[in-house]
Structure 1
Amino acid sequence: MTRVWIYDTTLRDGAQTEGISFSCEDKLDVLSRLDELGVDFVEGGWPGSNPRDDEFFERAGRMELANASLTAFGSTRRHGVSPEEDPNLRALAACSAGWCCIFGKSWDFHVTDALRIGLDDNLAMIEDSVRFLRESGKRVMFDAEHFFDGYFANRDYALAALMAAERGGAEWLVLCDTNGGTLPTDIAAAVEDVLLSTHTPLGIHCHNDSDLATACTLAAVEAGCTMVQGTVNGIGERCGNANLCTVIPNLALKEGVDVGAVDLRGLTPLSKSVGEIANMAPAPGMPFVGDRAFAHKGGMHVSALMKDPRTYEHIRPEEVGNSRRVLVSDMAGRSSITEKLRELGLEISDDSSHITQMIKDMESKGYQFEGADASFELLVKRLRGDLEKRFEVYGFRIFMDEREGLEMDSEASIKVMDADGNMEQTAADGNGPVNALDNALRKALARFYPSLNGVRLTDYKVRVLDEKSATAASVRVLMRTTDGESSWTTVGVSENVIEASLIALIDSLEYALMKQDQKTKVNQ
């Protein structure tokens, strides 16, 4: 079985994504998670380039990593400066990382037009820099920047750049598709040729500008590369890098490649946690680890899945730490409803046809339950008479005052009654009418159910269902709520956005109370 080493550059190349800025604490957190997953190398940043990366390497050097080799990134020496005098190389030599990955030019066009130096001078810079780091006690890999563009423009010079790094003592030669424009067949052909001319293990580093980073990475491995570089969720400059959350399972599950200590079951949790740390939610349609990767909507598909998951799933979702989801919609048949009830741990009974018809009727009015499991579960329990009504809203009012500068003050008053007939009326301010209504309702219910003080709204989305109806159109509101331990989504539909919000809000708090009751019963 072929062994392929996994090199993660989320903390360096991934950090170049527009809108992402990792703090030192963020980077240490991601490093720990990557090490736990089992990757071989984690590129932490560029020592000497900024105080944050200097602090990171100082602190990361004191961590005990079980699987990953901490790696520092940098460049070859500057033209006209010796390695011993180059501040970049000196910072690399002094940092805590055992490995250094330095990049250099392998495209003659970049050497002559970007650096504006002689071709032989560039080769000397590569060899000198690698040798200096090796003599400083570092293990070194060389990133051949723009390798494939350089190879197809001037094959001999691109190979000469690799040989210069090889003479300097590089232990890996990494071929970079820096512009992300090379096709998989061309990647494979170049790799096969390089293997005939060099004696050092090859790595591959692909960018996704042509949406081919995964395909190019797999093609490179099939052609002989034994290291893959990429990022979690494919984040990176411009269109991103090769997505390790896709590359790794393809290598391990499809190609039968040995990926070392990597625990595939940790891929989905890693994808979500890195997305949270980066404040950039992973794409729901991402293969293997996305929320939609194993989500099924069509009734015939679900019926077949219940007989054998292989009918509509290429792998078992559990292999990558994901889970199957059945989406409830007006396309759902009885089998879909039955499977959804099973997924939510609800009793399977003869009323699934009735539930299916109710779903279809409600979705014809604008409801959509495929992204609102909490509202679906409450609906089923209400239809079955299994849900105790904990409170009822008897009326509410929204007040809005315009202040200087067109700023608006929002206040909501609300009247509620609990299950024992106790009435409470109160008011609360908020940042907008929905927030004011949310605050007022939870404030009123806190008298009867203090635990709701720990429940909060985390996401709120509104969609106009019939734009042609303009201001008279119905709207659908989706709310995501959390109690700090888990989160759930509810839905409300009305021609009035405030009323639709209240429907979703009531469901969210009813669901919170139901969960608390279930937890209490389990602990008794």
Structure 2
Amino acid sequence: MSASISIFDTTLRDGTQGEGVSLSADDKLKIAKKLDDLGVHYIEGGIPGSNSKDIEFFKRVQELGLRAKITAFGSTRRKNTEASQDRNLQCILESGAQAATLVGKSWDFHVHTALQTTLEENLAMIYDSILYLKQNGLEVIFDAEHFFDGYKNNPEYALSVITKAAEAGADWITMCDTNGGTLPHEVYDIVSTVVSNLPQANLSIHTHNDCELAVANSLSAIQAGARQIQGTINGYGERCGNANLCSIIPTLQLKMGYDCIQADSLKQLSNTARFISEIANVHMPVNQPYVGGAAFAHKGGIHVSAILRDSRTYEHISPELIGNKQRILVSELAGQSNILSKAKEMGLEFDPSNENSSKVIDKIKDLEHQGYQFEAADASLELLLREANGQISELFTFESFKMLVEKSAGQPVVSEAFVKVNIDGQSVYTAAEGNGPVNALDNALRKALVQSFPSLQEMHLSDYKVRVLDEKDATAAKVRVLIESKNVSNTWNTVGVSGNVIEASWEALVDSIRYALLGQINQNDKHSNIESQHGLVNH
């Protein structure tokens, strides 16, 4: 039977110390529920003695009935005081948490420099604090801060610290690589020594990513005998971040044979990572292992041809195991296999022997040469493929647009757009203002169409990106515009390229609208003779 590994999540505490991460009490409660659904064993909620937000979290989280143990964080008692008189320890007891994480110094340098006390008093602070919380019914996890640096500087004292914590009754003893500078072989050797010195102790590992080794160091500790890992979702944390549980959990479970969470729960991992990224309002790297959007994305034609025969040729696990999915990217590197796979994914019939297949491949390569990027704009790609397959019947055609941008002294810039489109042979002319030229164009275009297509009221632009393609050309350079749009049930991305940022934005806007209307396009045979919009916007 494989060994079980306890997963201790500190996204809500250590993760919030990362730059740009700020969570309200409501945010923390939503994330705690999501972490509990995933199946982590401990959720460290924050520091109840530090701020009203964390106090509110600990009060309200009890109403959720979570399976995970809610843990409060704090430090050992102050020097030369009684544990029962320490305000920080009292706040932990009053929080209602089931467990406490106590951090104490294990590096003699820190004892002398940061605490400015004796080595003996530091040991007493650790012992008294753990014993006091244990006597009051809490489970205690002791975080030996800077343990690996302390061990390398003074192994005898570092070992005496965690031995004292064990004597006081700590349920878990955590070895912390607080500065993130330890190497995997050092972690393995030091943890192995600790295991031999404290064979009955439950050992935990807490690593930081300053050398991009937090995951590797955590796995090394497990191999040496640790049985709990502390980390955060998406690796959030101070400086370079903490150990990323999104990489650690599947590696332990799928590759190293340990039990961490239920297999069905593992399928929620990608969704959990993205959910927390959204709540934290922190961009999730597309190339993040396991859960990133590009983790199982394939672009080269040879690769795609191989994975269509057997995905094991270029995928180390099945993406479905962790709730991700295989993606086929279409670009200038694409071969016929890419197009066929993408068409199949979209539910299109695409005959490889048909002349249109080779034409659309050539067209995509030519457009990518011009600066288009379809791997980041699936909606524009789908419109191209549907056109090549004769499945697009346009509901409107573009006639013209004009822009007015006015700036008066002491007044904000005013942008106004005038758009003319043709719907069922009738010209529709509208004008609208916006907080910028693109917003004004978007408002005017949708204003022209919404009477005929009321479903457009449900969609909106959710992201807008501009990239200069030829920087050497300065203000005359081509730009690529990527637009993300959303409605109540879907998100899609479109692309436009031009030497004029307004025209590039217009192309992406029009594709966004066309994609939103795809359902009506396919159901509306009476419009089958209206010419293709792509020709009109001069792709």
Say whether the 8 Å CA contact 1:234–1:242 is kept in structure 2. Answer: yes
Say whether the 8 Å CA contact 1:131–1:168 is kept in structure 2. Answer: yes
Inter-CA distance 519–184: structure 2 relative to 1 (3 Å threshold): farther
Moved more, 229-238 or 438-447: 438-447
1:439 partner letter: N
Counterparts of 1:401-412 in structure 2 under 5 Å?
A: 401-405=406-410, 407-412=412-417
Shift, 1:157, TM fit:
0.5
Aligned equivalents of 1:401 and 1:311: distance in 2? 57
Say whether the 8 Å CA contact 2:392–2:522 is kept in structure 1. Answer: no
Corresponding residue SS for 2:216: helix
Counterparts of 1:402-481 in structure 2 under 5 Å?
A: 402-405=407-410, 407-418=412-423, 420-481=424-485
Corresponding residue SS for 2:497: strand
Which residue of structure 1 aligns with residue 335 of structure 2?
333
Aligned equivalents of 1:474 and 1:490: distance in 2? 17
Aligned equivalents of 2:342 and 2:43: distance in 1? 40
Say whether the 8 Å CA contact 2:392–2:521 is kept in structure 1. Answer: no
Aligned equivalents of 2:139 and 2:520: distance in 1? 55
Counterparts of 1:55-94 in structure 2 under 5 Å?
A: 55-66=56-67, 68-94=68-94
Corresponding residue SS for 2:374: coil
Say whether the 8 Å CA contact 1:272–1:281 is kept in structure 2. Answer: no
Counterparts of 1:267-278 in structure 2 under 5 Å?
A: 267-278=269-280
Inter-CA distance 60–517: structure 2 relative to 1 (3 Å threshold): farther
Q: Deviation digits for residues 359-387 of structure 1, max 9, x if unmatched?
A: 11222222221111100111111223211
Corresponding residue SS for 1:120: helix
Aligned equivalents of 1:17 and 1:27: distance in 2? 15
1:76 partner letter: T
Which residue of structure 1 aligns with residue 299 of structure 2?
297
1:479 partner letter: I
Moved more, 230-239 or 76-85: 76-85
Shift, 1:281, TM fit:
1.8
Aligned equivalents of 1:156 and 1:352: distance in 2? 71
Shift, 1:469, TM fit:
2.5
Aligned equivalents of 1:28 and 1:355: distance in 2? 49
Say whether the 8 Å CA contact 2:391–2:522 is kept in structure 1. Answer: no
Say whether the 8 Å CA contact 2:450–2:456 is kept in structure 1. Answer: yes
In structure 2, stretches of 5+ residues that fail to align are 526-539
Question: RMSD across aligned C-alpha pairs, in angstroms?
Answer: 1.4
Give yes or no for the alignment of 1:111 onto 2:107. Answer: no
Which residue of structure 2 aligns with residue 314 of structure 1?
316
In structure 1, stretches of 5+ residues that fail to align are none
Which residue of structure 2 aligns with residue 177 of structure 1?
177
Which residue of structure 2 aligns with residue 148 of structure 1?
148
Say whether the 8 Å CA contact 2:74–2:88 is kept in structure 1. Answer: yes
Shift, 1:446, TM fit:
1.0
1:510 partner letter: R
Corresponding residue SS for 2:400: strand
Shift, 1:493, TM fit:
1.4
Aligned equivalents of 1:472 and 1:25: distance in 2? 47
Aligned equivalents of 1:224 and 1:287: distance in 2? 25
Q: Percent of counterpart pairs with the same letter?
A: 51
**Aligned equivalent of 2:402, options 397, 403, 413:** 397
Shift, 1:520, TM fit:
11
Which residue of structure 2 aligns with residue 284 of structure 1?
286
Give yes or no for the alignment of 1:376 onto 2:381. Answer: yes
Which residue of structure 2 aligns with residue 357 of structure 1?
362
Moved more, 287-296 or 348-357: 348-357
TM-score in terms of structure 2 length? 0.94
1:317 partner letter: P
1:414 partner letter: V
Give yes or no for the alignment of 1:219 onto 2:220. Answer: yes
Shift, 1:473, TM fit:
2.3
Q: Deviation digits for residues 111-151 of structure 1, max 9, x if unmatched?
A: 01111101000000000000000011111110000000001
Aligned equivalents of 2:119 and 2:298: distance in 1? 56
Shift, 1:516, TM fit:
5.3
Say whether the 8 Å CA contact 1:10–1:235 is kept in structure 2. Answer: yes
Q: Deviation digits for residues 455-498 of structure 1, max 9, x if unmatched?
A: 11111111222222233322211111011321100111122211
Inter-CA distance 15–52: structure 2 relative to 1 (3 Å threshold): same
Which residue of structure 2 aligns with residue 25 of structure 1?
26
Shift, 1:96, TM fit:
1.3
Say whether the 8 Å CA contact 2:404–2:417 is kept in structure 1. Answer: yes
Aligned equivalents of 2:11 and 2:186: distance in 1? 26
Corresponding residue SS for 2:29: helix
Corresponding residue SS for 2:466: strand
Corresponding residue SS for 1:328: coil
Corresponding residue SS for 2:268: helix
Aligned equivalents of 2:485 and 2:72: distance in 1? 41
Which residue of structure 1 aligns with residue 197 of structure 2?
197
2:71 partner letter: T
Shift, 1:358, TM fit:
1.4
Aligned equivalents of 1:381 and 1:304: distance in 2? 25
Shift, 1:518, TM fit:
6.3
Say whether the 8 Å CA contact 2:41–2:69 is kept in structure 1. Answer: yes
Aligned equivalents of 1:406 and 1:179: distance in 2? 50
